Amino acid sequence: MAGKKVVLFSLLFCLLFSACKKDPVVGSHDYKTLGTSAHDLLSANPYSVLQIEINYMPGYAVDAASINNLVNFLQILLNKPSGILVFQKQIEASGKATISISDIVNLERQKRTLFTLDNIIAIHILVTDDYYTDPLILGTSYWNTSFCIFGQVIKNNSGGVGQVSTTRLTTTILEHEFGHLLGLVNQGSPMQVDHIDPANGAHCINKNCLMYYAAETSTMGMFSAIPTLDANCMNDLKANGGK
């Protein structure tokens, strides 16, 4: 049994000081088309370790409960026998009212320090203090190992009277955007049966599924609890190397 023991690191916060870190080595496996690393994320080979780097702007650190929820979600889906590690650090404020996809890409290129290399696949998550160009959007995924969530929009739509909790909303957005990195829907993990939403491509047609399009917009309040992946989405992931 000892030789088969799976070591899982559910949460690790780490401050990365520029004075002591080496210049990052940018591999050739990141900054690619969304969904192209779905199999690599789901399977144990060639990457047995998943590292998640979260860069957040002041006042928008991801709470521990949301990170634990994300790690638990990924442990159910991914074959990563050597562990899942999460690193979180603060970056400077954007100084903008709205942020575009080109702004997000530029920020990632400036701030990202962890990259896919050797047996490690790395994910970068940016948490901003402003609105996206579409103010209803809570998160967006854009590269094979990258996505962004919009802290100000999450703050405005959670934690108040009659609103969902901030942890619930943050967890839903993190898991939904990670679902896109895992190739859902039909953008890297082929569908086993047709369940794509024709009006909102790369989303599930099931209104109760985590990958329903509304789960990444400010209409997420329609869900009474953190939504889960439906059977069709789960089957897609299993067929592409997941558990």
Tens of pLDDT, residue by residue, the chain (243 residues): 433 333 333 333 332 322 223 333 445 799 999 999 999 999 999 999 999 999 999 999 999 999 999 999 999 999 999 999 999 999 999 999 999 999 999 999 999 999 999 999 999 999 999 999 999 999 999 999 999 999 999 999 898 888 889 999 999 999 999 999 999 999 999 999 999 999 999 999 999 999 999 988 776 555 668 999 999 999 999 999 999
Q: What is the pTM of this model?
A: 0.88
In a domain, 213, yes or no: yes
Give residue 160's pLDDT: 87
* Domain at 111, CATH number: 3.40.390.10
**Angstrom distance (rounded) from CA 207 to CA 197:** 10
Q: Is residue 194 part of a domain?
A: yes
Q: How many domains does the chain have?
A: 1
Residue 131 lies in a domain: yes
Q: Is residue 22 part of a domain?
A: no
Report yes or no on 18 lying in a domain: no
1 within a domain of the structure (yes/no) = no
Assess contact for 158 and 195: CB atoms under 8 A.
no
Give the other-Cβ count within 10 Å of 6's Cβ: 10
Question: Do residues 55 and 92 touch, judged by C-beta distance below 8 A?
Answer: no
Instruction: Residue 63: give the domain boundaries.
Output: 7-13+29-239
Residue 45: other Cβ atoms inside 10 A: 11
In a domain, 73, yes or no: yes
Residue 7 has a pLDDT of 35
Residue 21 resides in a domain: no
